[in-house]
Amino acid sequence: MAKAKSCRRTIDSYTVKHISKTIRPGDCVLMRPSDSSKLSYVARVEKIEAADGRGGGTSVRVRVRWYYRPEESIGGRRQFHGSKELFLSDHLDYQSADTIEGKCTVHNFISYTKLDAVGNEDFFCRFEYNSSTGGFNPDRVAVYCKCEMPYNPDELMVQCEGCTEWFHPTCIEMTPEEAKKLDCFYCLSCSSEDQNKLQNSHVSTGHSDEKVDTKRRRR
């Protein structure tokens, strides 16, 4: 036989020396793109493997699952995609551990919207992405406002105190500045319903089962 096959072993953690950070499976990392004018790639580390080289050194590679940016997806970036949005893809790769430039956090959608401040290393993911079909999981998402768009966390929305539906200020003829100053907001249909209630308050009409349509349709 020629030479012995290099022996790969799975390791629990690895310290990337040039950034002095220890990575473990499950961590999200930024990886250096081959084209330095591009944004860093984002990946989730699935597995870390070490192999002893012939020269006595050890090479470490990571099995990664790529996150795609909306513009890298087949459907492209859409209006409701947030600037820090990523899709967890089914695209797996091996990369040298030394191409890791840093660690980052990919939040779920709810915890991302609750962040007090969004740092450079904060991202969010609400969809899994099939890189061969361009399909998403889930393929349906709640929509809001008169424009019936999924929520883009970068865009200001105001919530109606009556029906709890969310609206973009521009969709209800309001500037974002005006919307920020609001103490409490009732949408057009809720404020007209209030008027009706006042007018009919002397009549017992039993409107209780007539719920306001929240327009939270799915598509």
Nearer to Zn ion, 51 or 171 (CB): 171
Residues 81, 145, 158, 166: which binds Zn ion (CB under 5 A)? 145
The answer to whether residue 86 forms part of the interface with Zn ion (CB under 5 A) is: no
The answer to whether residue 163 forms part of the interface with Zn ion (CB under 5 A) is: yes
Q: Which two tokens stand for residue 100?
A: 């890791």
Q: Catalogue the E-assigned strands of the chain.
A: 8-11, 14-16, 21-23, 28-31, 41-52, 58-68, 85-96, 100-108, 122-129, 136-137, 158-159, 166-167
The answer to whether residue 30 forms part of the interface with Zn ion (CB under 5 A) is: no
Helix H or strand E segment including 98: none
Kindly state the smallest distance separating residue 38's Cβ from Zn ion, in Å: 32
The Cα 195–Cα 159 span in angstroms is: 19
The Cα 165–Cα 53 span in angstroms is: 60
Q: Which two tokens stand for residue 165?
A: 């539906």
Residues 147, 182, 196, 214: which binds Zn ion (CB under 5 A)? 147
Nearer to Zn ion, 130 or 170 (CB): 170
Neighbours of 73 (CB within 10 A): 20
Nearer to Zn ion, 88 or 160 (CB): 160
Question: Binding string to Zn ion for residues 87 to 126, with x set by CB under 5 A, is what?
Answer: ----------------------------------------
The answer to whether residue 84 forms part of the interface with Zn ion (CB under 5 A) is: no
Which chain residues interact with Zn ion by CB under 5 A? 145, 147, 160, 162-163, 168, 171, 187, 190
